[in-house]
Structure 1
Amino acid sequence: MSQPEIRRLDLTPDELLTTTRAVRRRLDVTRPVPREVLLDCARLAQQAPSGSNRQRWDFVFVTDPEQRRDLAALWREGMARPAAPQFHGGPSRHDYTEGSGWPAIADSLRHLVDIIDQVPVLLVPCIQVSSRAELGDPATQAGIWGSALPAVWSFMLAARSRGLGTVWTTPHLNYEREAAELLGLPYETTVQCALVPVAWTIGTDFKPARRVPVTEVVHWDRW
């Protein structure tokens, strides 16, 4: 059976890379996302590199309304917990211009809290491990996350090119064991990386975000 034609936005590679945003406010919760579109994006994600080419990651797409509701409840519980220390003070580069700092992000997060159970697809990317002891060593951790994140980012880029919006979120990981039980995941050997809402975007006219000059983040030979 031939694959159905999937419409793509007319974006250059540079436009795709500079306009793939963390989308919260502009997720369209009224339109279902066809499974064929998700599979198309996942096929592209499969081409992402991974450590030793082991391809240990899996994607769990949650589309059942009751499953979404229960997973969203865990995410909201995680959001209600006190913020992690890294969110209190410390250096930040997103406050250098009006409208791009924490107040704007907090406002969009509040919107996501209100609608997350209505988002048509919740993606939970996972990485397989021999045991959770692998998470205790920073070097091994770097290999674990480095084997999963390129695939997730490839999925997000593919989604953007098809008119879908995504955002990387992690609050539900405060209740990862409960989420594993809900999703039927083997907790000891499968680590959840995030929860990624996926939906068509309201409009497709995203622009590059404001950033500090690249010379402020690039170092040569030494810090």
Structure 2
Amino acid sequence: MNVRRRECDGSLGAITARRNIREYTPDPVSDEDLNRIAEAGWRPPSGKNRQRWDFVVVTDRAQLQELSTVWQGAGHIAKAAAVIAFVVPPPEDDRRTRTDHYEIGQATMAMMIAATDLGIGTGHSSIGDEERARAVLGVPDDHTMAYLMGLGYPADRSLKPIRKPNRMPFNEVVHHGHW
């Protein structure tokens, strides 16, 4: 039992340290670290192992600038060292649309935790202008540009566990046995 607890300490530490980063240092993130982060997104479970996702890793400054214009809240993307775009193929049916986005959410969080563990900050963004985002990245027209995730080293302070998170009280959102 103690061995299992120790194995979880690293992930729990990264979970408690993770926060949205919107200001980055100008330092690049290595290809090795970007691939480790992308691998973390490739590993989460997928219903019937469909793996209906693609990830586009972007470090080109001109592309980052263009991607920062696809949503009103994506300005931080231009300042990031890299971006990972989450792409979903055409849905098989309405139910798959929901499960595809759930699975992309799992991949996103896995990447965010992996990045935090490496000291790399992340900040997610929606995509409003899918057509423009697809054009910048060469994504087929029938695919959905789901989200963007900026990556870079935090400009303000390093990623350390947040002792008093600004969250709703735990006992108000966690219910045992019934509501």
Same topology, TM > 0.5: yes
Contact 2:121 2:159 in 1 (8 A): no
**SS of residue in 2 equivalent to 1:67:** helix
Tell me the alpha carbon deviations over residues 156-210 of structure 1, each in whole angstroms, 9 at most, x when there is no partner: 110000010001211xx2200121122111121x211211110012423351422
d(CA) in 1 for partners of 2:128, 2:137: 15
Q: Which residue is equivalent to 2:110?
A: 154
- The answer to whether structure 1 residue 207 and structure 2 residue 168 are counterparts is no
The residue number in structure 1 matching 2:33 is: 37
> What letter is aligned with 1:121?
A
Runs of 5+ unmatched residues, structure 1 = 1-10, 80-108
Q: 1:116 to 1:45 in 2, by over 3 A?
A: closer
* Structure 2 unmatched runs, 5+: 1-8
Counterpart pick for 2:88 among 103, 127, 146: 127
State the number of aligned residues.
168
TM-score normalized by structure 2?
0.83
Percent identity over the alignment is 27
- CA RMSD after TM alignment: 2.1
User: Counterpart amino acid of 1:21?
Assistant: R
Report deviation, 1:37: 0.8
How do 1:93-172 residues align onto structure 2 when only pairs under 5 Å count? Answer: 113=75, 115-130=76-91, 134=93, 137=94, 139-170=95-126
Q: Tell me if the contact between 1:50 and 1:150 (Cα under 8 Å) persists in the aligned partners.
A: no
Change in Cα spacing, 1:140 to 1:43, as seen in structure 2 (3 Å) is closer
Counterpart-to-counterpart distance in 1, 2:177 and 2:130: 39
| Structure 2 letter corresponding to 1:216 | E
- Give yes or no for contact 2:67–2:77 (8 Å, CA) kept in 1: no
Q: Counterpart of 1:119 in structure 2: which amino acid?
A: A
Q: Which residue number corresponds to residue 186 of structure 1? A: 140
Q: Secondary structure at the match of 2:13?
A: helix
| 1:35-87 CA distance string (max 9 Å, x none) | 11111122232221112111111111121111112111x23xx31xxxxxxxx
Structure with larger RCO (C-alpha < 8 A, sep 6+) = 1
